[in-house]
Amino acid sequence: MRLIDGVPRWYRPDPRRPDEPVPLPRWLVTRLTVPPTPPPTLCAPVRLVLGGSRLDANVAAAVDGETAKVTNARPGVRAITVFKAAAALGELVGARVLDEQAAENVLLDAASVHDRIDDWTAREARGHIRNGIARGRDNPRRLDGFAA
């Protein structure tokens, strides 16, 4: 016999009532209970202010879209999401319509919501961003039909 929630109880089923479940001790229930997963944090995308041309509007939309992807990336796919977003903006850097430092800064700002979550660091984000921008810069986006 043991105390369960302050009441003495048997761990073995009562042979007179074999269908009645045996209560578990509170400490065991606590140990076996999985903590709830926190809901994902959705943040507003980072805004980059550019001029008023059609090209600027498309660059701003690309920046907004990529920063939103980075901000809302889930653990487990964060690194590849940050790299892909940086590569996409790196293509605009290679096309000379987006400043490299501005692209890096907006992506670092977007990735900052993940700092210290599952051992994610700003240093890790910076590495993925720089590698992605370098990859994208080597494959500049063609901007036919846009006037600068």
Stretches in the chain below the pLDDT threshold 50: 45-46, 148
**135 half-sphere exposure, CB direction, 13 A CA radius:** 13
Would you list the domain boundaries of the chain? 2-32, 54-137
Among residues 66, 68, 78, which one has the least CA distance to residue 116?
Answer: 78
The predicted structure's pLDDT at residue 11: 60
The predicted structure's pLDDT at residue 8: 75
The predicted structure's pLDDT at residue 30: 84
pLDDT tens, residue by residue, 119-143: 888 999 999 999 999 999 998 888 7
